[in-house]
Structure 1
Amino acid sequence: MASRNQPSMIKVKRTNDPADDINVLLLGQTGVGKSTFINGLANYLCNDTLEQAANDQMQAIIPSAFSFTHDETFEERMINIGLDDEHENFNEHGQSCTQQCRSFVFPVGEKNLRIIDAPGIGDTRGLDQDNKNFHEILTFISQYEHLNGICILLKPNEERLTILFRFCINELLRHLHESAKENIIFVFTNARSTFFKPGATSKILRALLDEHKQKQNIEVSFTRDNTFLLDNEPFRYLALRKNSIELSNEQTLSYQKSWEHTVKEYSNLMRHIVTRPLHAVSNTLSLNEAEQLIRKLTRPIAETAKLIQENIQLAKQHKENVLKNPKIASQGLPQNDVRIRHLDNPRTVCTSDKCCQTITVNNEIKIEYKSKCHDICYLKGVVQETINDPRMLDCEVIDYKTGQCTKCKCSWQKHQHITYEYETNVRRLTEASSLSDIDKRISDLKDEKSKIEDVYKKLSKFLHANAILPLNDDILEYLRLFIKEEQMKKSAGNQNNDVIQGLEQMMKDYEEEINLFKKTIENEKDRSNAKDVLKPDEIFPLVGSLYRLPINGKKIREQVDGLKISQNNISSKREVFVELPVKANSSTIMRQFQNIISNK
């Protein structure tokens, strides 16, 4: 029992330097046992023996369930462990299936050990879901600077799953940067069934790695040094004991041997992980991060294009007025200024005609969204502003069967997921008082508009050639929305023909160029090497040129940076800080972990 001055639980040190954290990514097929790997570790950290663990409070970090059949009566019973969790689903076999990435941070001495649990590869919903899962994994790990280990979990005997197995391994290696090969670790689960040997999987894995070496000229090591054989069945034993199910002495002895072997393997695994060179996540993410950045730019680019059209029209109108009445020149050039208001939480709003209205603010006609359908909307999988995205169907205010919003009764296709509001107000540029000043402003705005459109077209071509996920031209959705809004303003009396025409021309030019590009790459075997396609390392300098635009660059960057912060906030809500009983500090495996880390 803890003394009054001694804390009853060991807590994660949240003020630690993230550079000192030990980050381990778990990858593998659906049902291979990633969640059980984490649950098993929590119990090994707290107790030295299986019997001690059976008499202690069970650590169930991730909820799971499994079916147990009694040896003599053949009675089948579902064993549930842990509390229900929105992040986990159970399949027909009772296996815990991780739906999205989460990280579990364990206190280990003076360091934090972060285990990242990822959705399974080889999803029963098919290739599209696997691609989405990979995108989810790469997006999630982008918040961390490094990975110490990339553990690929496998079952020992996979000879009947060669096609699925091949896909999983090939996809994993395809998405990892070459430098990650030093951090790849193979972990065999359920290894007790093969007497803690890799089994038939070994031959298939070696053949796949040899094939990868021949095609990519990259050798991924598969030796005893980076291979670990575990069996977390003792975790199920503990669950059975907690459910008052008695097992034979023979079964208990088998589980005890499994516990002892697996504890040693966990220690060896940790020793190997902490001696690996740190893998910079930015290397693996070069392509994915470029894609994310481009998608984040969509709304800022569209908003800026509309703003430029509005300011060009204001400048032209002011020039006409000055020609009629030169005295008003001293008042300065009216221009729309932008204020980016970041929301405390992501929000779902309806953009349909019936849920929008025109209002007049300071003699200016604006659009107001009346229907804030879901004020706090942490929509899974959405990491940037989106319109007409099928993932909107997952918003809790959308009836999945009808596709209609339960609040406003409009279709999900009319809903937008936003993290910030874009507000404009007219201000006067007193430094632009002469006709030549006005002409220069119009010229500068047109120049920025041309540069923005040129950059975005190049970025879009990169996405069409390289995107991990199937691509929609989100920019077109925004332009259609803005054109509709401007037409509503026009009906309310606003003189904005130039703005409407400018947006329509931008949409036409974009569609023509991108459609032509799509046709040119249709028959390309390697689209990424097609003519006129940027390389990943060219993306960030090009985007940097947008941020440096003298008139609108700062606001473009402010929007993108805000989206990054919003994304990180959403990801941080999926981090679980594990608290362990204070007795864990004296367990054999915890002391071994601490020694390994301190002697690194």
Structure 2
Amino acid sequence: MARRNEPSMIKGNRHNDPSTDINVLLLGQTGVGKSTFINGLANYVCNDTLEEACNDKIQSVIPSAFSFTDDDTFEQRTIEIGQKNEHEDFNEEGRSCTQQCRSFVFPVGDKNLRIIDAPGIGDTRGLEQDTKNFHEILTYISQYEHLNGICILLKPNEERLTILFRFCINELLRHLHKSASENIIFVFTNARATFFKPGATSKILRALLDQHKKDHDVDVPFSRENTFLLDNEPFRYLALRKNGVRLNNDQTLSYQKSWDHTVKEYSNLINHIVTRPLHAVSNTLSLNEAEQLVRKLTRPIAEIAKLIQENIQLAKQHKENVLKNPQLAKQGLPQNEAKIIPLAHPRTVCINEKCCKPITVNNQTKIEYTSKCHEECYLKGVVQETINDQRMQECEAMNYRTGKCLKCDCLWSEHQHITYEYETSIHRLNGSSSLADIDKRISDLRDEKKKIEDVYKKLAKFLHANAILPLNDDILEYLRHFIREEQMKKNSGSQNNDVIQGLEEMMKSYEQEMELFKQTIDSEKDRSSSKDVLKSDEIFSLVGTLYRLPINGSKIREQVNGLNINQNKLSLKREVFVELPSKANSSTVMKQFKNIISSR
């Protein structure tokens, strides 16, 4: 029974300074035991001995399952722990149980120990799924300021390390920074079977690291100092006991020894992690961050390009009116102004013509989306604000057999995942507008449009040369979409030929330049080193020139900032603050953790 005034549970530190958090990323092949690593930790910090844990409530932070074969009958049964949820899938053989990144935040005194569980590498769905999983990992960790440790989990007698290292070492260092090698830690699971030694894996691992150093000039250490040998089996033993399975005395004794050894190794592991130099993530000008920024700019740039065309046309029409009636100059130059309206939840909308209709608001023709097909759509992995994203097929609004929307009956490819609405309204610039003023405004708008086009072409070339995932030309999808909308407005009576022509010219110019670029660069061995391709650290200063554009720069920045906020909100929904029973405060492991972390 809890003492009077003593809380029954230790709750997470939700309002801590993020710079004091201990952030640990777990990477490894599918089935290596990342989820069991986290579940085991939750039990070690609550109980000092295996027997004590058997008499206590099992701590199951992540639902999981494993097969058990009875020694006498050879009957096989599945042992399940915890309740399945949308994040975990343990029924399909060979698939990664963890389907997307999640963080599990353990309270350690007044600090947070955050364990980031990532999808497994070496998924049976193939290299494309591995690539998507790795992109998901890079995107997810970008929300954190730093990583203390990057734990690569291995089995001691593992023959299939090639896939793992291509992604977890080569790709990780390429997308973060070479200094990440100081934070890499090797954790061997199921080490009881090899008497807590690295086993046959050691020789293969060392050869791969030597080859990595030769190819990339990056020395990733593999020594006793950054290598830890654990055993995941004690947690499975607990699960068996809770499911009524009894093992003989010899087996129990073996698990007790394994528990004691693993508890010590966890403490050694934490001690090593907190002595590592912090590896900056969000402040590092990494390739992944640059790629993310370029993707976020697509919708804002396309919308600003259309806005500029609309304003050029408005200025031309006003000039014609002033020539006919000079008194109109006093009214000021009419220009469209954009307003960004963040949505409370991400939304799936249909952009098919039959689900849109032209409406007139304040003498302006606009397009209204009539089909809001999924009002609160937290679809996993979809790229926000992208048209024709294949992952839209997995939206709840879609019929998985036909690929059509259950609400509007249009194809998934005609749907868009949005986090904000974009509205325009006409305002008049202050002061009178002489013919010279109007001409200058038109010239300034054209100048900004050219600068925006030039910057985006450079960004698109960077993306084509460096992208992890195969790319669509997202800007073309948007331009085609806006041209269709303008055609609908024209058919309903709008005089918008200049807008349509300007968008068509922008699309043609982009297609021609990109096609020539692709033909040139695709023949080069190292595309990212081409003289026509920006370096990742040049991206941010180039985008800064967009933000400083005097007429439209602030709106571009506002849209990108809004997307950053929405992405962070979505990521934070995948943080689990682990609540531990109050007895954990007095456990040996927790006391050791507190001493280690408080001394850093």
TM-score range, shorter chain: over 0.9
For residue 556 of structure 1, what is the aligned residue in structure 2? 556
For residues 521-600 of structure 1, the aligned pairs below 5 Å read: 521-600=521-600
Query: Does 2:275 align with 1:286?
Result: no
Distance between the aligned counterparts of 1:95 and 1:431, measured in 2?
A: 65
**Does the Cα contact within 8 Å between 1:197 and 1:229 map onto a contact in 2?**
yes
Q: Deviations over 1:501-557 (max 9, x none)?
A: 000000000000001000001111110111211011110000000000000000000
**Does the Cα contact within 8 Å between 1:151 and 1:187 map onto a contact in 2?**
yes
Distance between the aligned counterparts of 2:200 and 2:84, measured in 1?
A: 36
For residue 404 of structure 1, what is the aligned residue in structure 2? 404
**Does the Cα contact within 8 Å between 1:104 and 1:575 map onto a contact in 2?**
yes
Deviation at 1:90, TM superposition (A): 1.0
Deviation at 1:167, TM superposition (A): 3.4
For residue 153 of structure 2, what is the aligned residue in structure 1? 153
> Helix, strand or coil: the match of 2:45?
helix
Distance between the aligned counterparts of 2:121 and 2:417, measured in 1?
A: 28
Q: For residues 295 and 165 of structure 1, do their structure 2 counterparts lie closer, same or farther at Cα, with a shift above 3 Å needed? A: closer
Distance between the aligned counterparts of 1:338 and 1:223, measured in 2?
A: 58
Query: Does 2:196 align with 1:196?
Result: yes
For residue 360 of structure 2, what is the aligned residue in structure 1? 360
Q: For residues 91 and 523 of structure 1, do their structure 2 counterparts lie closer, same or farther at Cα, with a shift above 3 Å needed? A: farther
For residue 56 of structure 1, what is the aligned residue in structure 2? 56
Distance between the aligned counterparts of 2:352 and 2:147, measured in 1?
A: 44
Q: For residues 396 and 92 of structure 1, do their structure 2 counterparts lie closer, same or farther at Cα, with a shift above 3 Å needed? A: closer
Query: Does 2:271 align with 1:268?
Result: no
Aligned residues: CA RMSD: 1.3
**Does the Cα contact within 8 Å between 2:154 and 2:186 map onto a contact in 1?**
yes
For residues 106-255 of structure 1, the aligned pairs below 5 Å read: 106-159=106-159, 161-168=160-167, 169-255=169-255
**Does the Cα contact within 8 Å between 1:65 and 1:95 map onto a contact in 2?**
no
Q: Deviations over 1:548-588 (max 9, x none)?
A: 00000000000000000000000000000000000000000
Distance between the aligned counterparts of 1:436 and 1:258, measured in 2?
A: 84
Deviation at 1:77, TM superposition (A): 1.3
Query: Does 2:6 align with 1:6?
Result: yes
Deviation at 1:173, TM superposition (A): 4.3
> Helix, strand or coil: the match of 2:211?
helix
For residue 492 of structure 2, what is the aligned residue in structure 1? 492
**Does the Cα contact within 8 Å between 2:315 and 2:333 map onto a contact in 1?**
yes
Deviation at 1:500, TM superposition (A): 0.2
**Does the Cα contact within 8 Å between 1:67 and 1:94 map onto a contact in 2?**
no
- Ranges in structure 2 where 5+ consecutive residues have no aligned partner: none
Deviation at 1:177, TM superposition (A): 1.4
Deviation at 1:285, TM superposition (A): 6.0
Q: For residues 95 and 241 of structure 1, do their structure 2 counterparts lie closer, same or farther at Cα, with a shift above 3 Å needed? A: farther
Distance between the aligned counterparts of 1:546 and 1:388, measured in 2?
A: 26
Q: For residues 430 and 94 of structure 1, do their structure 2 counterparts lie closer, same or farther at Cα, with a shift above 3 Å needed? A: closer
Query: Does 2:77 align with 1:43?
Result: no
Distance between the aligned counterparts of 2:94 and 2:482, measured in 1?
A: 48
Deviation at 1:432, TM superposition (A): 4.7
Distance between the aligned counterparts of 1:493 and 1:96, measured in 2?
A: 55
For residue 394 of structure 2, what is the aligned residue in structure 1? 394
Q: Deviations over 1:313-371 (max 9, x none)?
A: 00000000000011111011110011100001110000111100011101111100000
Q: TM-score, normalised by structure 2?
A: 0.98
Deviation at 1:229, TM superposition (A): 0.2
Deviation at 1:69, TM superposition (A): 1.2
Distance between the aligned counterparts of 2:537 and 2:173, measured in 1?
A: 20
**Does the Cα contact within 8 Å between 1:142 and 1:285 map onto a contact in 2?**
no
Letter aligned with residue 496 of structure 1: N
- Ranges in structure 1 where 5+ consecutive residues have no aligned partner: none
**Does the Cα contact within 8 Å between 1:233 and 1:255 map onto a contact in 2?**
yes
For residue 331 of structure 2, what is the aligned residue in structure 1? 331
Find runs of 4+ consecutive structure 1 residues off by over 6 angstroms: none
Q: TM-score, normalised by structure 1?
A: 0.98
Distance between the aligned counterparts of 1:482 and 1:114, measured in 2?
A: 44
Letter aligned with residue 439 of structure 1: D
Deviation at 1:595, TM superposition (A): 0.8
Distance between the aligned counterparts of 2:268 and 2:162, measured in 1?
A: 31
Deviation at 1:73, TM superposition (A): 1.4
Distance between the aligned counterparts of 1:4 and 1:540, measured in 2?
A: 56
Distance between the aligned counterparts of 2:28 and 2:549, measured in 1?
A: 45
Deviation at 1:599, TM superposition (A): 2.1
**Does the Cα contact within 8 Å between 1:64 and 1:96 map onto a contact in 2?**
no
Deviation at 1:130, TM superposition (A): 1.2
For residue 506 of structure 2, what is the aligned residue in structure 1? 506
**Does the Cα contact within 8 Å between 2:96 and 2:119 map onto a contact in 1?**
no
Distance between the aligned counterparts of 2:174 and 2:209, measured in 1?
A: 12
Distance between the aligned counterparts of 2:432 and 2:377, measured in 1?
A: 43
**Does the Cα contact within 8 Å between 1:66 and 1:93 map onto a contact in 2?**
no
For residue 450 of structure 1, what is the aligned residue in structure 2? 450
Letter aligned with residue 107 of structure 2: P
Deviation at 1:153, TM superposition (A): 0.5
Q: For residues 174 and 91 of structure 1, do their structure 2 counterparts lie closer, same or farther at Cα, with a shift above 3 Å needed? A: farther
Letter aligned with residue 167 of structure 1: R
For residue 102 of structure 1, what is the aligned residue in structure 2? 102
**Does the Cα contact within 8 Å between 2:314 and 2:334 map onto a contact in 1?**
yes
| 426-435 or 89-98: bigger deviation | 89-98
> Helix, strand or coil: the match of 1:46?
coil
> Helix, strand or coil: the match of 2:374?
coil
Distance between the aligned counterparts of 1:473 and 1:262, measured in 2?
A: 50
For residues 405-420 of structure 1, the aligned pairs below 5 Å read: 405-420=405-420
Deviation at 1:5, TM superposition (A): 1.2
| 273-282 or 143-152: bigger deviation | 273-282
Deviation at 1:401, TM superposition (A): 1.2
Query: Does 2:85 align with 1:85?
Result: yes
> Helix, strand or coil: the match of 2:237?
helix
Q: Deviations over 1:451-502 (max 9, x none)?
A: 0000000000000111111111000000000000000000010000000000
Distance between the aligned counterparts of 1:95 and 1:447, measured in 2?
A: 52
Distance between the aligned counterparts of 2:297 and 2:175, measured in 1?
A: 23
Letter aligned with residue 163 of structure 2: L
Letter aligned with residue 78 of structure 1: T
Letter aligned with residue 5 of structure 1: N
Deviation at 1:213, TM superposition (A): 1.1
> Helix, strand or coil: the match of 1:360?
strand
Letter aligned with residue 509 of structure 1: S
